[in-house]
Structure 1
Amino acid sequence: MRIAILALEGSVLSAIAGLADLFWITNKAIAASPAHAIKFPEKTFETLIVSADGAPVWDTEGRLIHIDSSFQGAGQPDVVIAPGMLLGPDLQPLNLADINLAATWFRKMYDNGALVAASGTGGVVLGEAGLLKGRSYATTWWVSHMLQERYPDAIPARGKMLEEDRGVLTTGGCFSWISLALNIIEKAAGTEVANLTSEMSLTDNHFLRQHLSASPGSIHSGTPFLVRAEEIIRMQNPSINAAQLASALNTTERTLQRKFKALSQETPKEFITRVRIETACTMLISTRVSIRQIARDCGYSEETAFRKAFNQIMEMSPAQYRQWMAARASDHRS
């Protein structure tokens, strides 16, 4: 399987190098296992780091990223991946001309049969390519506002860390490229090889690739006011009410109401409830914590109030959601 990893000015070097390394580790793991080596006598994964013209580009911290090929020289890869990238001070994509060049190439690769994938802010490339339109996509909370604003026809997959919709694979979060790579490895070489790679590279950090928390200092995308509001709800006070949120944001309740309506088409109460329920969805998928404890962790003093809010937003109970997502994961593995 040939995998092209996109590098743009401002790309996150750790994601590019990490993706390449994880596929390299998988090749080594297969070669070292007689049972797997028989099934895959040739090198299973070949990676190329690509830029538009094949020239090196600068990463987020001003270091040069080595490039293996231009878009033209890469031929027709089986998979093309857009890792995360730096956003501007206005929390919007930088270098749109370069992004649109990459988007055109991604669209061509998709039309020719490639699986296209993105992690975090790399979703902008797919959005500019028109590959999110009408599709369900996964992202992380501090990126979601920007993506929804730019691509209103796309469908955010609430509470999911990885989503595939008609040949478009998306994940969210600083280290979500790990989930993305393991999913691709499983597609190409099977569950046993993906598990072997996970064991070799992540050892006991089983949930690392699923739910690493971003530090407040790493938040660099999305609508700033909404991102700050989510940060307060998620990380500081899940049980906060509208008046307390207004105070924490150094504004009045009336101004808070007006801003939320303009930015998210929600009331402050609706916004707070949605953030709580999205957090609950992630916990229901990635932990075995009881529903009662999840309700408390998400700011609900009464479990009945949590269940009612969850049903209203997700149109199923928390227990049904957990079972449904477990069944989907099982179907994917089989």
Structure 2
Amino acid sequence: MQIAIVALEGSLLSAISGLADMFWICNQASRNPPPGVVTALAGSPGPLFHTRIVSADAQPLRDTQGRWIPVDGAFDAETAYDAILIAGMALGPDGQPPHSAAHAQAARWLSSRHQTGVLIGGACAGTFVLGQAGLLDRRRCTTTWWLHHVFKQRFPAACHVWGSALEEQDGIITTGGPLSWVDLALHVIRRLAGPELARLAADISVADSLPLPQLLYAPRGFVNTANPLLLQAEQIIRHAHPGMTAEALAQALHLSERTLHRRLKQLTGESPKAFITRVRIETACVLLATPGISIKQVAGQCGYGDETAFRRAFIQAMCLTPVDYRRRIQSHQQ
């Protein structure tokens, strides 16, 4: 299987090299798994993946720290790739991902290759190139949490999923975070070679085989700072009694339910019910970092009259139980 890794001026050398290394690890694991590992992949006759680093003109270029990025070839229509991946890059002086002639050329190439059925993936600021190509329009996607507001402004037609670690729709994969190329690589391996090899590659790399949501890392309430309506709605939910409904929230905001649904979809991509749940879970994350408060007390203060319902909602949002989340936070605070 042929994998192209896109290099642009200012790309992160670690991400480009890391992507290539992850597929190399897969090749090693498929041919010679670690001792004690029983797998149907053992003894593969040759490498499963072949990676090429490509640039607009096939010339090496500088990374964000001025180091040379080696390049194997140029963007072309002749090579039959199974996947084309673009990782993070340095932000411009304005704090936004760059938008140059080379980025535009990469965007056009990605768009044309996707039309032939090639899997396209972007990590961190690389997702902006996918957006520039029009590949995210009306598709679920994600990007790094701290680029969320810029992303929404630049690509209003994209269906951005706040806090998600990885999204795929119609063969377009996006991940968030400068190191999320790990998640991107493992997902592509899973798609092209199956879950067993992806799991083995994750185990060898000592990485999570399935990414955790960015909600674990983003400041609580970050997405709501973009609009006064969101901030007002957040405060209402935080101080509401258990049983807050979309109807009650709309009334408190002096809006119709239909208007509230439309505004939230425009601003966050969420339904009122999903918005209420997210605010409650974000509140729970803050409370769980407070010593001495029980899970039952956290549930009650977040608007859940039933502790079981709270645990279920928390696990669905955070991919961790409240107890596991508390342990994780406590270990980071030490």
Q: Same fold (TM over 0.5)?
A: yes
For each residue in 1:95-126, what CA deviation from the matched residue of structure 2 results, as whole angstroms up to 9, or x when unmatched? 42111100000001100110100001101110
* Letter of the 2:40 counterpart: A
TM-superposed CA distance for 1:294, in Å, is: 3.7
TM superposition shift of 1:42: 3.1
% identity of equivalent residues: 36
Distance across 2 between alignment mates of 1:207 and 1:76: 28
Which of 98, 120, 138 does residue 134 from structure 1 map onto? 138
The alignment yields a C-alpha RMSD, in angstroms, of: 3.6
Residues 324, 279 of structure 1: alpha-carbon distance in 2 compared, 3 angstrom cutoff: closer
Partner deviation per Cα, 1:31-76 (whole Å, 9 max, x = no partner): 10473135x4332111110001101111010011000010127613
Q: Which has the larger radius of gyration?
A: 2
Matched, 1:35 2:40: yes
- How far apart, CA to CA, are the structure 2 residues paired with 1:139 and 1:101? 21
CA distance in 2, matches of 1:151, 1:321: 30
Q: Which runs of 5+ in 1 are unaligned?
A: 216-229, 235-241, 243-259, 284-291, 309-315, 327-334
Matched residues in 1 for 2:123 and 2:41: separation?
28
More off after superposition, 299-308 vs 15-24: 299-308
Match of 1:296 among 264, 287, 295: 287
Instruction: Point out the more displaced range, 121-130 or 179-188.
Output: 179-188
Q: Return the TM-score normalized by structure 1.
A: 0.69
267 and 157 in structure 1: CA distance in 2 versus 1, 3 angstrom threshold: closer
Aligned residue identity for 2:288:
D
Q: 1:268 aligns with which of 214, 226, 231?
A: 231
Q: Partners in 1 of 2:228 and 2:102 — Cα distance?
A: 32
Equivalent of 2:173, from 163, 169, 174? 169
> 1:157: which partner in 2?
161
For the pair 1:53 / 2:57, whether they are aligned, the reply is yes
Contact kept in structure 2, 1:176 and 1:210, CA below 8 Å: no
SS of equivalent to 2:53: strand
The total of aligned residue pairs comes to: 267
Number of the residue aligned with 1:189: 193
- Give the counterpart letter for 1:304 in structure 2: G
For the pair 1:16 / 2:16, whether they are aligned, the reply is: yes
Residue 306 of structure 1 corresponds to 302
For residues 138 and 110 of structure 2, what CA distance do their matches in structure 1 show? Answer: 17
- Relative to structure 1, is the Cα distance of residues 178 and 68 closer, same or farther in structure 2, using a 3 angstrom cutoff? same
1:99 and 1:155, CA in 2 relative to 1: closer, same or farther beyond 3 A? same
Q: 3-state SS of the aligned residue for 1:72?
A: coil
Higher helix proportion? 1
Give a deviation string over 1:256-277, Cα, whole Å, max 9, x none.
xxxx5xx546453446879997
